[in-house]
Structure 1
Amino acid sequence: MADDDMMLMQMEDEEGTTFGAEELAAAGEAGEDDDELEPLENVGTGNLPEFTPVDPTSLIEVEEVRRLPVPPHRYTPLKQNWEHIVDPIVNVLGLAIQMNVKARKIEIQNCEYTTDSSALQRAADFVKAFLLGFDLDDAMALLRLDDLYVDSFEIDDVKRLQGNHRSRAIGRICGAQGKTKHTIENALRVRIVVADSKIHILGAFTNIKLARRAVCSLIMGTPPGKVYGQLRSASARLATRY
């Protein structure tokens, strides 16, 4: 055996390959270099996919049509306000609209000038609100604001009433000369339409919920004075929230 100073330590791996001490030292230094972390700004920037922006007009289906039936009692208001209804739908939303006299329906369709994919739905909500009985200015708010909705329900959904009982329930909702209905509208910033046994409410989600609760209380027989007290507290909560 040679001298200890000249002897190289050898190590045999699992496959039987031998490594000298100098080779092991060099491998250890290389391993220390590999343990160094890559800078954070370079992490995840290797092979990221590149997505091109989507053209909003590509999401619009030109053949999509909305047909809204016109109730008989809304023909006269529709004729009187037809120009005011068509103007924002055509000039602002870029849609095509026509009145199908034979089918008695209003047809709204996308066209080549439509640039917003939600324009058709907004126009349909606007026209539907007008056909339900809301004023033109109130219905047009659906075109300007995004958080307005229309909720509809019937008196029978709350309580089944027959004959004079239903008439008295409608009278409690409206009040003398519409006083109760106007109080609910002004306190909760909503609009209410009472069409026989059907009730339609236009407003924000939270306001509609409070207004519907007040109307249901009147249907169940709660005196208007008690409902006024509930409206005052609800109006105060809305004032602090907004």
Structure 2
Amino acid sequence: MDIDNPRAEQPAATVPAKPNFQPLKAHEISDGHVQFRKVTVPQHRYTPLKKVWMEIYNPIFDQMKIDIRMNLKKRRVELKTRTDTPDISNLQKCADFVHAFMLGFDVCDAVALLRLDELYVDSFEIKDVKTLRGEHLSRAIGRLSGKGGKTKFAIENATKTRIVIADSKIHILGSFLNIKIARDSLCSLIMGSPADPNLLLLQLKLNGTSVLLLELQVLSRFYRTTTKLAA
């Protein structure tokens, strides 16, 4: 009489292979619907746009795989996704790139928005810092630029940002930390600080050091919290 041994080796259960799905294309995420972005062209940027149109068109169409056209009737740049657009975020990056050019940034500086994710544009007005009118406003704008643009260039080189001063509006292109340092320096100039390049560079170094120390303190607190939770 044969008795089945319950301890006999059973065939090992085969674990199904982990599925490997390809990332969805831009048109697949939106259920096949085409996504649009529209950037209005100001009157004073229409002629510069015509001169550098191909420098804007090539990286958007060839590298980012986004369709772009100029609507001459409505005077705006129109962008839309394609079936071969690799990432849906490319559309917003291209819109930010075109918008940065409309604000006054050079194409060689604004194109960094397509390549780096941590860059963005911050804008504010002089009246947001201090209410100035007439000649007081003109002197504040002069302090921001400096003689021959020395003050503005010093801030740009020290903080690795790009600054556009358009009348009473100020636009800063850079990373979050660098924009904060540059904005603090610009605000101090608006409030009446002397526009001495040497003093300005010293202030920029001190601001950068204090921000880095603050980040180190936050990271150390986070590390202590995680170690306590792990224990």
TM over 0.5: yes
- Structure 1: where are the runs of 5+ without partners? 1-44
SS in 1 for 2:111: helix
Give the structure-1-normalised TM-score. Answer: 0.74
The answer (yes or no) to whether the contact 1:133–1:193 under 8 Å persists in 2 is: yes
Look up the SS of the partner of 1:147 in the other structure. coil
- Cα deviation for residue 224 of structure 1 reads 1.8
Residue identity in the other structure for 1:53: F
Matched residue SS, 1:56: coil
AA aligned opposite 2:192: G
2:181 touches 2:208 (CA, 8 Å); kept in 1?
A: no
Whether contact under 8 Å (1:153, 1:199) holds in the other structure is: yes
Higher relative contact order (CA 8 A, sep 6+): 2
1:149 corresponds to which of 120, 125, 131: 120
Distance 1:51 1:161 in 2: 63
1:228 deviation in Å?
3.2
Q: How far 1:238 moved relative to its partner?
A: 8.4
Matches within 5 A, 1:216-231: 216-225=187-196, 226-231=199-204
Is 1:55 paired with 2:23?
yes
C-alpha contact (below 8 Å) 1:187/1:235 kept by paired residues: no
Q: CA deviation at 1:223?
A: 1.1
1:115-194 equivalences under 5 Å are 115-194=86-165
Equivalent residue in structure 1 for 2:39, among 30, 54, 68: 68
Q: Secondary structure at the match of 1:55?
A: coil
Cα deviation 1:155-175 (Å, max 9, x = unaligned): 011111100000000000000
Pair member with larger Rg: 1
| Contact 1:151-1:208 within 8 A present in 2 as well | yes
Of 53-62 and 176-185, more deviation after overlay is shown by 53-62
RMSD (Å) for aligned C-alpha atoms: 2.6
What letter matches 1:230 in structure 2?
Q
Counterpart secondary structure, 2:133: coil
Within a 5 Å distance, the mapping from 1:92-131 to structure 2 comes to 92-131=63-102
Report the secondary structure of 1:98's partner residue: strand
Q: Give the letter for the 1:59 counterpart.
A: I
2:43 partner letter: P
Task: Tell me how many residue pairs correspond in the alignment.
Answer: 196
**What letter is aligned with 1:218?**
L
How far the C-alpha of 1:151 sits from its partner, in A, is 0.2
2:167 aligns to what?
196
**How far does residue 111 in structure 1 lie from its aligned partner after superposition?**
1.3
Aligned 8 A contact 1:62 1:111 in 2: no
SS at match of 2:38: strand
Counterparts of 1:51 and 1:154 in 2: how far apart (Å)?
A: 52
Query: What TM-score, normalized to structure 2?
Result: 0.78
Deviation at 1:229, TM superposition (A): 2.2
Q: What are the equivalent positions in structure 2 for 1:18-37 lying under 5 Å apart?
A: none
Partners of 2:164 and 2:151 lie apart in 1 by: 13
1:83 equivalent to 2:58? Answer no
Alpha carbons 1:217, 1:227 under 8 Å: kept: no
Cα deviation for residue 51 of structure 1 reads 6.9
